[in-house]
Amino acid sequence: MKFARDKKANMGIEIERKFLLKNEDWRSEVKSKTIIKQGYLNSQKEKTVRVRVRNDKGYLTIKGINLNATRQEFEYEIPITDAELLLLLCEMPIIEKIRNIILDDGKMWEIDEFERENKGLILAEIELDSEEEKFRIPSWLGEEVTHDTRYFNSNLLAHPYSTFS
């Protein structure tokens, strides 16, 4: 199956790779930080429906099943009040994380430091225009976990990082 992408609307597909980090060197490169709270109205692997509060904005995101590092994604800004109320309807626990933004060689890295049940987990993500796109590997980047479903945010609800062996 091939997905269409509408970059202008930031909808259609998401091509993302995820990595663990091997050291703390990335911290000196952080350009901005954001606190994120997100919950799932549906966390099935075939289709997730996520509600997110980031700063003073709310978002509703629908994602399809992963095919390699690609999946359908549709994200809409919603009123912050609606997002906060929808979080109360979500599966528990709510995922809380600090998102750090790093710019490296023309690419944006999002490094998420998880809190609460997932404290200690730090993931780096990069969005690409194609699965074959090349990018520079920063010195702080560790093992790739793109295909390890334990690291999907939606799976961290039932199986938080604190339970990893």
- 118 — phi, psi (to 5°)? -110, 15
pLDDT of residue 1 exceeding 70, the answer is no
Which two structure tokens, joined as six digits, stand for 14? Answer: 């998401």
Residue 59 appears among annotated catalytic residues: no
Q: Quote the pLDDT of residue 160.
A: 94
pLDDT of residue 7 exceeding 70, the answer is no
User: Domains along the chain?
Assistant: 14-163 (2.40.320.10)
What percentage of the chain reaches a pLDDT higher than 70? 93
Q: Quote the pLDDT of residue 98.
A: 98
Q: Quote the pLDDT of residue 3.
A: 44
Which of 8-17, 26-35, 78-87 comes out lowest in average pLDDT?
A: 8-17
Give the pLDDT confidence of 133-160 residue by residue, as tens digits: 999 999 999 999 999 999 999 999 999 9
pLDDT of residue 69 exceeding 50, the answer is yes
Which position among 40, 59, 76, 151 bears the catalytic label? 40
pLDDT of residue 10 exceeding 60, the answer is no
Cβ neighbours around 94 below 10 Å, total: 18
Q: Which residue has the higher pLDDT, 43 or 125?
A: 125
